[in-house]
Amino acid sequence: MTDRNGSVGSFQAGISVNAALEAMINPSRLRVIAVGKVRKRWVSDGLALYLKRLPGLSIVEVKDSTPEKEADAVWGLLLPAERLVALTEEGCIFDSVGFAHWLDGLASDRIALVIGGAEGLAPSLKARAMAKLSLSPMTFPHEIARLLLVEQIYRGVTILQGGPYHKA
């Protein structure tokens, strides 16, 4: 994992394959909270495919508004024991295997992965997040970011299970 400057981040996956197989990611402990609705049918179809493969993973939509109002809505949706991960361009960047191991390291926690709207996430939300994650140095529309995130969660699960989906 690296940050935007190429520095090694603080989330290192130092677990063995056997430990990974014993403490698998449970999709029901993850939630995606996303600002805005999915309007493109092909994105909806892709999300439906991965959600079928990840029973228990849920996506909650927050109405488009100002970043601060969206942040208030996100805080209102968080469960008491849920830890917030903000998806933001200044977040840590993983390859797929690193992301799988990072998620696996959080397997005993309840995690809310939050995707902002067109104006991004409010600074107050990012400041209180337990971690910041970037899908890429590139910027994506929030609908595509949602699909990419869910696909990477699925890929992470299959990596840890040793399944054939991920080809290095």
Tens of pLDDT, residue by residue over 83-140, are 999 999 999 999 999 999 999 999 888 999 999 998 999 999 999 999 999 999 998 8
Distance of alpha carbon 92 from alpha carbon 133, whole angstroms:
5
Scanning 54-163, the segments in alpha helix (DSSP H) are: 67-77, 96-105, 123-128, 142-161
Global pTM value: 0.83
